[in-house]
Amino acid sequence: MTPPQFGYWQCQGIGQPARMMLNYNNETHEDTVYDFRAKEGTKTHWPSQKFKIGLPFPNIPFYIDGNIKLSQSGAILRHLGKKYKMYGANDNEASIIDMLIDLSADLRLGLAKQAYSQPDFEKMRKEMIEKNVPVFKQVSEFLQSKKFLMGDSITIADFPIYDALKWHLAMEKDILSEFGNLLDYIKRFEDDPKIKAFLSSDKAFKGFFSIKAHWGGA
């Protein structure tokens, strides 16, 4: 039987949560890392391979498992959440998880837009601090004293929220200084043996964005 396939760039980007999820669940899969500098026609040159994979909506990240052929990072993450029972205990919890995933997308994509469009790092940093510290306060109040976002167990919401927090910490090391529970949450998440194993692997890319970004590029 052909193992599932996952494909994304050689950076964290919007593919990191799903890539981390697959490793967290020990799913045997083929992980194709597309190289920003790959030569045309090679296996890791995404534009050359884009229409050869059989995706209905060709894009990356993608996930293929038999008849399941998905692109779009949110769709992949939610599919894996259902597959591995990490999407909450009921429909109400699933809806809250959806909200958290969308919130993480706002935080991550907002920073990405600045990283690609704003060459002045200090200006970008100032704007992101002013814009997102109030949001992190809300996340802190939502988390309260829980181990993870939804309670004692990791769900799919934790992966993208973790990325959002870490990216902003890389931009400004003191951005979460007022929110001790978020810093504790990050450490607790990273101390999970499966997360720790992923973060020490060659798939835990240091770059957040592509080589075209002014900050955080691969």
Instruction: Note the pLDDT of residue 81.
Output: 98
Helix, strand, coil % in the chain, rounded to nearest 5: 50, 10, 40
What's the pLDDT band for 1 if we cut at 50, 70, 90? confident
pTM, two decimal places: 0.96
Instruction: Note the pLDDT of residue 163.
Output: 98
63-86 mean pLDDT: 97
- What number of other Cβ atoms are within 10 A of residue 73's Cβ? 24
* pLDDT tens-digit readout, 105-115: 999 999 999 99
- What number of other Cβ atoms are within 10 A of residue 154's Cβ? 21
Q: Is the pLDDT of residue 142 over 80?
A: yes
Q: What percent of the chain has pLDDT over 90?
A: 99
What's the pLDDT band for 51 if we cut at 50, 70, 90? very high
CATH classification code of 91-192: 1.20.1050.10
Q: Is the pLDDT of residue 49 over 90?
A: yes
DSSP helix/strand/coil, 57: coil
Average pLDDT in the chain: 97
* pLDDT tens-digit readout, 80-107: 999 999 999 999 999 999 999 999 999 9
Q: Closest by alpha carbon to 163, among 7, 8, 21?
A: 21
* pLDDT tens-digit readout, 172-210: 999 999 999 999 999 999 999 999 999 999 999 999 999
